[in-house]
């Protein structure tokens, strides 16, 4: 019997060897000694006896035995060899009494390499053992800025508090989100009961997930588990979920998992879409313009928030433009979590066809509700979100900020210009850099001092600017109704009274009108037929953003701005075309290439004439952390 099973294991090994060879991959076990020869190691840590997930044991420590095993740890030596005899003896012992002696191995970058016990691992893997007991030594590499290294150090922080090694995530920030969805603080030390509860939930989820997706599911189990918890967080009362409930919830979100498996394909619509052409039968069968009921869900109120005030103006404009065809309702001061979900359910109960959630923090709740209610169109005001069940929308500001930079550079006398930014989120970095490029185009020696209003107060920043003779400042582009201020747009702060020079206008009414038109004219349905996530990112050419120059700006400067604005709107110029330089060197050297919308939105660098940096996570205020958690650029340091 043992010999027959060895031959089965040998065939598995030969198939694995052949597959790896045909794919141009190394067909034996990985060797840790060879990997470490190219790695800076800073420490070793004894983890003691651990239960190691079998699939995470990928190699051997030394090169001595690597050719005896295929990459799947199945044997490659013929069944007459001494190796085969020892393998069969160990196999028989395992069937009779089990393998009790732990292997000795090293863990490096979340993978395990065997020092003693390769045949034990081979036998246990052949028998389908989900885990292997091992005495583990962790090898810790030097910390770097490489994404894989940063992800590993996030895992180390997670392991320090949880002692859990089987949840290996693939995205930066994932472990922080996982702890939040499990109901644990980042520095909370897990108890044995905590580990048991999480393990139980994970095993139940894994069983259901593999029943649906097979042994090779669309994405790794741990990533799917996190996606599941993001939509269905753990019950605070620790009530155990039945497999039937997990299965029902998993089926609802399956399209989202498939989308992630494809690499989260998304399409950024930079211009409103034309209505699909209709033939005669379409006109004859068309029921006419559909009456729409639309809900706006805000996290604050328009009296205290400039952001919400702008969206409310857009809502009222929508009702004016579609009298008798559109009805709107708004919800103010809605909190995340249960209150948001109840609010969205209320809007659906009131027969709303479309729901706009106007802050990125509402993204998660929007997704959860959209999955449960696929007939309702839910849109979240955020940038480049990869979810098929909802769509996102945002105003494209960087082109207008470039024009503002042109004015600032032209009027700057001492080479010092200030820039106040708020949230370090996707799209914001492009605004900063476009402004800096505009400055550089007309004033190559000027520099921009970057400050963050979510780290320091606006008043403190303005006082520092004045003290350092930074007289031209790009302030935030919105004002609060209850706290009117002239510190918006490009402002000259040299005198006692601020002098407004330019302003970037968010025309939310135009954006909402065009979004509703896409629903009414059929463009919505035709755009959503390709199985990709859709993001609407419209700017000046769509009338969603406008740029205003004060008469105080010299006439020739205004003419230059008008010319460049026309070029941008006609597609003849992009601020991010040709050679581009960051603080760290050249970003793009091709004179004939422009950055894509995806590259602009996900920008991670600052232009070479910017003094400043992205803010440290711990320095951000709590409101900013909530926004950055959802839409932040991924190199915000912990």
Q: Which of 90-104, 260-274, 594-608 has the lowest mean pLDDT?
A: 260-274
Confidence of residue 263 (pLDDT cuts 50, 70, 90): confident
**What pLDDT, on a 0 to 100 scale, did the predictor assign at position 531?**
67
pLDDT at 257 over 50: yes
User: 161-181, pLDDT tens digit by residue?
Assistant: 999 999 999 998 899 999 989
Say what the pLDDT of residue 624 is: 83
User: In the structure, what pLDDT confidence band is assigned to residue 420 with cuts at 50, 70 and 90?
Assistant: very high
Query: Which contiguous run of DSSP H or E holds residue 198?
Result: helix 192-213
The pTM of this model reads 0.79
CA 323 to chain centre: 38
| pLDDT tens digits, one per residue of 123-132 | 999 999 999 9
Numbered ranges of CATH 3.90.1530.10 in the chain: 1-142
Question: What ranges in 415-505 are assigned the alpha helix state H?
Answer: 428-442, 458-467
* pLDDT for 66: 81
**pLDDT per residue over 579-611, tens digit each?**
999 999 999 999 899 999 999 999 999 999 999
* Measured CA distances, 529 to 157, 521, 534 (Å): 42, 15, 10
Distance, C-alpha 57 to centroid of its chain: 29
Cβ neighbors of 46 (< 8 A, separation 6 or more) are 136, 137, 138
What pLDDT band is residue 636 in, cutting at 50, 70 and 90?
A: low
Give the Cα separation of 448 and 451 in Å (integer): 10
| Residue 468, pLDDT score | 95
* Contact predicate 259/387, CB 8 Å: yes
User: Distance (Å, rounded) from C-alpha 380 to C-alpha 443?
Assistant: 39
Q: Are 531 and 389 in contact (CB under 8 A)?
A: no
Does domain 1-142 correspond to CATH entry 3.90.1530.10?
yes
Rounded CA Rg of the chain: 29
Reduced to 3 states (helix: H, G, I; strand: E, B; else coil), residue 250 is helix
Which of 36-45, 141-150, 231-240, 401-410 ranks highest by mean pLDDT? 401-410
Domain 398-507+544-631: which topology?
Answer: Rossmann fold (3.40.50)
Confidence of residue 278 (pLDDT cuts 50, 70, 90): low
Q: Are 319 and 326 in contact (CB under 8 A)?
A: yes
| Residue 258: φ, ψ to 5° | -65, -35
The answer for residues whose C-beta is within 8 angstroms of residue 214's C-beta and 6 or more apart is: none
In order of 170, 338, 340, 342, the CA distances from 368 in angstroms are 22, 11, 11, 12
- Angle CA 603–609–615, to nearest 5: 55
Q: What is the predicted pLDDT for the residue at 184? A: 93
Is a pLDDT exceeding 50 seen at residue 111?
Answer: yes
CA distances in angstroms from 308 to 84, 150, 180, 333, 609, listed in the order given: 72, 36, 27, 10, 33
Residues in contact with 505: Cβ distance below 8 Å, sequence separation at least 6, in sequence order: 477, 545, 546, 547, 548
Residue 4 has phi, psi (to 5 degrees) of: -60, -45
User: Is the Cβ–Cβ distance between 30 and 59 less than 8 Å?
Assistant: yes
> Rounded to an integer, what distance in angstroms lies between the CA atom of residue 404 and that of residue 412?
12
Whether 265 shows a pLDDT value over 80: the answer reads no
> What confidence tens digit (pLDDT) does each residue in 528-543 have?
656 688 899 999 999 9
Measured from the Cβ of residue 255, the count of other Cβ atoms closer than 10 Å reads 15
Q: What is the pLDDT of residue 213?
A: 87
- pLDDT category at 283 given cuts 50, 70, 90 is very low
Would you state the pLDDT for residue 603? Answer: 93
| pLDDT for 280 | 42
Is the per-residue pLDDT at 486 higher than 80? no
Please state whether beta strands 57-60 and 499-506 pair in parallel, antiparallel, or not at all (unpaired): unpaired
The whole-angstrom distance between residue 225's C-alpha and the CA centroid of its chain comes to 16
Domain 280-395: give its CATH code: 3.40.50.2300
Neighbours of 163 (CB within 10 A): 14
Higher pLDDT, 479 or 269: 269
Mean pLDDT score across all residues of the chain = 91
Q: Where in the chain is the domain with CATH 3.40.50.2300?
A: 280-395, 398-507+544-631
Closest CA to 28 of 118, 109, 117: 118
Has residue 484 got a pLDDT over 60? no
pLDDT, position 291: 87
């Amino acid at each position: 019997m043992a010999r027959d099973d060895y031959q089965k294991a040998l065939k598995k090994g030969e198939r694995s060897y052949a597959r790896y060879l045909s794919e141009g991959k190394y067909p034996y076990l990985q060797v840790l000694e060879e990997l470490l020869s190219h790695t800076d190691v800073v420490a070793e840590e004894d983890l003691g006896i651990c239960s190691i997930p079998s699939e995470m044991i990928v190699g051997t420590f030394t090169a001595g035995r690597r050719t005896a095993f295929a990459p799947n740890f199945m044997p490659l030596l013929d069944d007459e060899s001494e190796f085969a005899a020892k393998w069969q003896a160990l196999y028989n012992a395992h069937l009779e009494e089990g393998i009790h002696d732990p292997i000795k191995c090293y863990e490096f970058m979340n993978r395990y390499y065997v020092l003693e016990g390769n045949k034990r691992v081979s036998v246990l893997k052949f028998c389908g053992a989900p885990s292997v007991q091992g005495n583990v030594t962790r090898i810790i590499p030097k910390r770097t800025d490489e994404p894989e290294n940063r992800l590993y150090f996030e895992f180390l922080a997670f392991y320090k508090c949880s002692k859990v090694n089987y949840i290996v995530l693939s995205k930066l920030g994932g472990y922080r989100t996982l702890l939040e969805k499990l109901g644990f603080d980042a520095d909370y030390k897990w108890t044995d009961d905590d580990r048991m509860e999480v393990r139980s939930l994970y095993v139940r989820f894994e069983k259901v997930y593999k029943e649906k997706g097979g042994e090779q599911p669309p994405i790794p189990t741990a990533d799917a588990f996190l996606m599941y918890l993001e939509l269905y967080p753990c019950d605070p009362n620790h009530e155990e979920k039945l497999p039937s409930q997990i299965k029902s919830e998993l089926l609802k979100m399956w399209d989202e998992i498939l989308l992630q498996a494809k690499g989260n394909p998304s399409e950024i619509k930079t211009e409103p879409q034309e209505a699909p052409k209709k033939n005669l039968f379409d006109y004859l069968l068309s029921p006419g313009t559909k009456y729409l009921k639309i809900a706006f869900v805000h996290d604050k109120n328009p009296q205290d928030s400039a952001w919400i005030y702008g969206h409310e103006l857009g809502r009222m404009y929508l009702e004016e433009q579609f009298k008798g065809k559109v009805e709107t309702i708004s919800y103010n001061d809605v909190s995340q979590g249960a209150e948001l979900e109840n609010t969205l359910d209320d809007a659906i109960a009131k027969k709303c066809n479309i729901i706009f959630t106007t802050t990125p923090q509402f993204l998660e709740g929007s997704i959860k509700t959209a999955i449960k209610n696929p007939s309702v169109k839910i849109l979240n005001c955020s940038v480049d979100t990869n979810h098929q069940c909802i769509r996102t929308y945002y105003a494209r500001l960087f082109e207008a900020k470039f024009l503002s930079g042109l004015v600032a550079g032209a009027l700057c006398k001492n080479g010092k210009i200030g820039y106040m930014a708020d949230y370090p989120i996707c799209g914001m970095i492009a605004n900063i850099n476009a402004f800096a490029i505009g400055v550089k185009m007309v004033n190559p020696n000027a520099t921009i001092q970057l400050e963050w209003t979510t780290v320091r107060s606006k008043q403190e920043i303005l006082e520092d600017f004045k003290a350092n003779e930074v007289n031209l400042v790009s302030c935030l582009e919105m004002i609060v109704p209850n706290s009117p201020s002239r510190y918006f747009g490009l402002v000259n702060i040299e005198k006692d009274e601020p002098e407004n020079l330019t302003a970037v206008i968010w025309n939310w009414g135009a954006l909402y009108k065009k979004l509703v038109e896409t629903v009414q004219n059929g463009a919505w349905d035709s755009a959503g037929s390709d199985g990709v996530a859709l993001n609407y990112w419209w700017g000046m050419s769509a009338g969603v953003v406008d740029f205003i120059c004060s008469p105080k700006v010299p006439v020739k400067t205004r003419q230059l701005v008008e010319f460049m604005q026309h070029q941008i709107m006609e597609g003849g110029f992009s601020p991010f075309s040709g050679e581009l330089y960051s603080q760290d060197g050249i970003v793009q050297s091709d004179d004939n290439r422009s950055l894509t919308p995806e590259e602009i939105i996900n920008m991670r660098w600052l232009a070479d004439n910017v003094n400043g940096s992205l803010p440290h996570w711990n320095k951000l205020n709590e409101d900013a952390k909530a926004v950055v958690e959802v839409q932040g650029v991924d190199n915000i340091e912990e």
